[in-house]
């Protein structure tokens, strides 16, 4: 995969040659003001429903292996 | 029975409204057609079980097939990835909810390149989709299942997603209509994210009138997606018959050498048809469009590397069994769950965003994006539309480009600039051409792009052109079936040379 990634980066590197110092970057194409909503509580997923898709739910939470390496 | 499946959706709706066709019988006929999928287009159909939350009582709209990137409550939703195997979303995407509310039965979930990354559908973890015109060839991607289902008579219409061409390119390779709307026209809520500043839902249909109807159902602002704004007004049926007074721009720097000669001939013939209909054609410079692929393959992987961080084996989807700590579990889950193309893009994206490289790659790519959008804005000062071939080639062979990711990426040469600019673009079938390497003729798509939120004008012009072209060919259902390539390509390891 290293060779493939180098080939892709070589192609991508062409844009490095463009003189774009004074150009503003575009992160979003549609003009949007801040999008706000009323600060009112609304229903979200029940905890049990959200946990139902987890590979290892336990005690109302997501269980994962210990962050401390064992042994 | 076959006759009813030959109708476009608009025609079927008219027949139902006139009492000549039963909506229930029509929906049942499509369910039977979908059950006979030899193209590997469907990943799930109601007959496969788990359909409770999306079943509707009385069909009022033609049944629709949905790319498997849309979360659908209680229904398997994989995005073509092993990492989401077994996932049953607890909610439904807004686009799908709108279809259900319009009374459209969901025919099934359609195969796709994993997380919408690909141009051939060979990156699906569940095997490639076959092109209904030639089952030894790809349907395009990433919405390959959507395009093959509509072209192959397995669905009357379908929805897909387009990040850099993923609706338009497969529509082109399968000989149907595909529309990428303006960014923000349709809610992305519940649409599994690939590159959030580019992803957009859109219709894949048999003709332009069906695309207008499907867009009118899907579009609209959604409080659940703060980037959605909807269209100024819902599209009405396109009815334009000529192109008088309309100006079409052909990019002056169109890379003609990179286009297959047959595709180029169809493109030139279509330009002549535009002129016959009264449209004007002139060349316009789009000097930065050639850098679209470079900018896209920085921006899209960068956003993907962030979006795909959520697949960690904790909250949903698969988890690899390990005996070590949580980091080892993350690593094993992502190593087993993601296919090679997804890994490639996560690595590209994290590299492009890493400290010391950010300005040179991501920052520079965003500036190129500004220049490309500026090129289009300048063109639309003088022209109504920009036109190109949709894809530089007709459908290529299964496995033909999987060993060269860059060659695969260049399929998107003509579709990526519009995505970066956020503008709407449609691909309509314009004729047939022989593949570069010889063989039976295959469909060729013609792309028309319009200014942001110019969907109505785009649909009207595309409809007029479509009527004049008169493309009404359908693939013959013969040749190899999916089973015959079983085992050879089904592992989904394609995309561009495995590790």
| Predicted local confidence at residue B226, as pLDDT | 93
Write down the pTM of the prediction.
0.94
Q: Among all residues of chain A, which has the CA nearest to that of B196?
A: A28
Q: Does the distance separating the beta carbons of A54 and B315 come in below 8 Å?
A: yes
Burial grade of B351 (CB within 10 A; 0-12, 13-18, 19 or more): middle
Q: How confident is the model at residue B479 (pLDDT cuts 50, 70, 90)?
A: very low
Nearest residue to B391 via CA among B200, B214, B147, B184: B147
Q: Among all residues of chain B, which has the CA nearest to that of A37?
A: B223
The answer to whether B264 touches B390, Cβ cutoff 8 Å, is no
ipTM for the predicted complex comes to: 0.92
pLDDT digits (tens, 9 = 90+) for B243-275: 999 999 999 977 777 899 999 999 999 999 999
Q: Distance, in angstroms, between A50 CA and closest chain B CA?
A: 7
Q: What is the mean pLDDT of chain B?
A: 93
Closest CB to B366 among A4, A27, A49: A27
Select from A9, A13, A15, A53 the residue whose CB has the most chain B CBs within 10 Å, as the one to mutate to test that interface: A15
pLDDT digits (tens, 9 = 90+) for B364-392: 999 999 999 999 999 999 999 999 999 99
Q: Distance, in angstroms, between A9 CA and closest chain B CA?
A: 8
Q: B2-241+391-485 falls under which CATH superfamily?
A: Amidase signature (AS) domain (3.90.1300.10)
3-state secondary structure B231-245: CCCCCCCCCCCCCCC
Cα separation values, B487 from B23, B126, B128, B307, B493, Å = 39, 11, 11, 32, 12
Whether the pLDDT of residue B436 is over 60: the answer is yes
**Domain spans in chain B, listed from the N-terminal domain onward:** 2-241+391-485
Work out the angle at residue B436's Cα, subtended by the Cα atoms of residues B496 and B402, and round it to the nearest 5 degrees: 5
| Structure token pair of residue B268 | 């030139």
Tens of pLDDT along chain A (71 residues)?
888 899 999 999 999 899 999 999 998 888 777 888 889 998 889 999 999 999 999 999 999 998 876 54
């Amino acid at each position: 995969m290293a060779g493939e990634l180098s080939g892709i980066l070589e192609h991508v590197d062409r844009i490095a040659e463009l003189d774009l110092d004074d150009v503003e970057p575009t992160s979003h194409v549609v003009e949007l003001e801040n999008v706000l909503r009323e600060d009112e509580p609304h229903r979200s997923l029940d905890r049990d429903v959200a946990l139902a898709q987890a590979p290892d739910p336990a005690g109302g939470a997501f269980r994962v292996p210990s962050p401390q390496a064992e042994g | 029975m076959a006759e009813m499946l030959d109708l476009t959706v608009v025609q079927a709706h008219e027949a139902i409204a006139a009492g000549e066709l039963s909506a229930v019988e029509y929906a049942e006929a499509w369910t039977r057609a979908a059950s006979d999928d030899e193209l590997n287009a469907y990943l799930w159909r109601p007959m496969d079980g788990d359909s409770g939350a999306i079943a509707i009582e009385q069909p009022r709209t033609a049944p629709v097939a949905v790319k498997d990137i849309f979360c659908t409550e209680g229904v398997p939703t994989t995005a073509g990835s092993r990492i989401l195997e077994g996932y049953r979303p607890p909610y439904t995407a807004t686009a799908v909810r709108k279809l259900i509310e319009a009374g459209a039965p969901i025919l099934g979930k359609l195969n796709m390149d994993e997380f919408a990354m690909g141009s051939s559908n060979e990156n699906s973890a569940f095997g490639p989709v076959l092109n209904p015109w030639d089952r030894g060839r790809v349907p395009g991607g990433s919405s390959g299942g959507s395009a093959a289902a509509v072209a192959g008579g397995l669905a009357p219409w379908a929805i897909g997603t387009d990040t850099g061409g993923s609706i338009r390119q497969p529509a082109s390779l399968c000989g149907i209509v595909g529309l990428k709307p303006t960014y923000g026209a349709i809610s992305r809520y519940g649409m599994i994210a690939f590159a959030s500043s580019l992803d957009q839902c859109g219709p894949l249909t048999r003709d332009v009138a069906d695309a207008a109807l499907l867009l009118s159902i899907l579009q609209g602002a959604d409080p659940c997606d703060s980037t959605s704004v909807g269209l100024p007004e819902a599209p009405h049926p396109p009815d334009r018959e000529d192109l008088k007074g309309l100006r079409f721009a052909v990019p002056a720097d169109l890379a003609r050498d990179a286009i297959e000669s047959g595709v180029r001939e169809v493109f030139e013939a279509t330009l002549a048809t535009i002129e016959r209909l009264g449209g004007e054609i002139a060349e316009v410079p789009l000097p930065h469009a050639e850098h679209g692929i470079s900018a896209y393959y920085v921006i899209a992987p960068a956003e993907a590397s962030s979006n795909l961080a959520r697949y960690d084996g904790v909250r949903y989807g698969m988890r690899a069994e390990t005996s070590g700590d949580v980091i080892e579990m993350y690593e094993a889950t992502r190593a087993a769950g993601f296919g090679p193309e997804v890994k490639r893009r996560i690595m590209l994206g994290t590299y492009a965003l890493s400290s010391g490289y950010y300005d040179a790659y991501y920052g520079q790519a965003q500036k190129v994006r500004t220049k490309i959008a500026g090129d289009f804005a300048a063109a639309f000062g003088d022209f109504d539309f920009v036109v190109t071939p949709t894809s530089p080639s007709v459908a290529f062979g299964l496995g033909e480009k999987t060993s060269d990711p860059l060659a695969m990426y260049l399929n998107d040469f003509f579709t990526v600039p519009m995505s970066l600019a956020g503008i709407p673009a449609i691909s309509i079938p314009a004729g047939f051409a022989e593949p570069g390497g010889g063989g039976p003729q295959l469909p060729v798509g013609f792309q028309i792009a319009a200014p942001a939120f110019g969907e109505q004008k785009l649909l009207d012009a595309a409809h007029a052109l479509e009527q004049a072209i008169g493309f009404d060919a359908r693939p013959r259902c013969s040749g190899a079936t999916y089973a015959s390539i079983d085992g050879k390509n089904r592992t989904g390891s394609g995309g561009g040379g495995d590790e």
